[in-house]
């Protein structure tokens, strides 16, 4: 059983990486249904600004702490989470399991050129996955919504970025009987080779967020959000 801790009005998964990966891989193995949200500080802030979006997140099966910012905040607020559970790692573990079990996978998101490279890369790396839907993220959401009903996918990866990816998942979730849905943000860009993940030294020092900000076109905007998040955490701490 997966335990959760309430932070910012959201139930965050409180588990070690090994426990978490075992749990979600079991869900995929058993063809069960779930909606996974990987929440970083930006997503948390958006949920606090937008009640409708927060309601969508609260309907998710699981919300994981994606990034050191959320786990650091949990400690500062006296509700420490066991570990950071990066969304890109969760998605990678699910793809490995889908390959081993020859599962059906549905992909939505990314630029057209990204999706072309992505399918080539994933087909080489995971040759036993059955790709039953591959849609780029430029005006294809409605088409993908129609396709998901007949795809009978076991794993659905959505890379539209927040809030679009969670909103799309929520809009189609009740239309299917099975499937593990997860929003993966910029993972398609990384896997396709169109952008790089932070070097290992950044990940080891838990500074992947700094690398993403420094290399992102909206880096300054993202930095402002992180500072706002930190300020919010400090204010909450002062009221405990």
For the stretch 47-76, pLDDT in tens is 999 999 999 999 999 999 998 889 989 998
| Widest pairwise Cα distance in the chain | 53
User: What confidence score (pLDDT) does residue 199 get?
Assistant: 63
For residue 200, what are its two tokens? 């290992």
Average pLDDT, the chain: 89
**pLDDT above 70 (res 206):** no
pTM of the model: 0.86
Supply the pLDDT for residue 196: 62
User: What's the CA dihedral at 145, 147, 148, 150 to 10 degrees?
Assistant: 140
pLDDT digits (tens, 9 = 90+) for 5-41: 999 999 999 999 999 999 999 999 999 999 999 999 9
């Amino acid at each position: 059983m997966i335990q959760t801790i309430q932070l910012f009005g959201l139930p965050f998964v409180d588990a070690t990486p090994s426990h978490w990966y075992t749990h979600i891989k079991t869900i995929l193995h058993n063809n069960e249904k779930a909606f996974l949200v990987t929440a970083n500080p930006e997503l948390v802030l958006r949920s606090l600004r937008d009640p409708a979006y927060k309601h969508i997140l609260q309907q998710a099966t699981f919300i994981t702490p994606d990034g050191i910012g959320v786990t650091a905040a949990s400690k500062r607020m006296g509700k420490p989470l066991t570990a950071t559970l990066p969304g890109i790692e969760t998605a990678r573990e699910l793809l490995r399991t889908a390959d081993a079990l020859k599962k059906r996978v549905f992909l939505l998101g990314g630029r057209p050129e990204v999706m072309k490279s992505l399918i080539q890369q994933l087909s080489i790396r995971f040759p036993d996955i059955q790709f039953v839907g591959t849609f780029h993220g430029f005006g294809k959401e409605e088409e993908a919504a129609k396709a998901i009903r007949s795809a009978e996918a076991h794993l659905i990866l959505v890379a539209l970025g927040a809030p679009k990816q969670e909103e799309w998942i929520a809009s189609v979730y009740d239309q299917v009987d099975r499937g593990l849905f997860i929003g993966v943000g910029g993972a398609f860009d990384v896997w396709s080779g169109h952008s790089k993940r932070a070097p290992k030294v950044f990940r080891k020092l838990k500074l992947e967020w700094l690398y993403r900000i420094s290399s992102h076109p909206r880096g300054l905007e993202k930095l402002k959000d992180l500072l706002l998040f930190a300020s919010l955490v400090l204010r909450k701490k002062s009221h405990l």
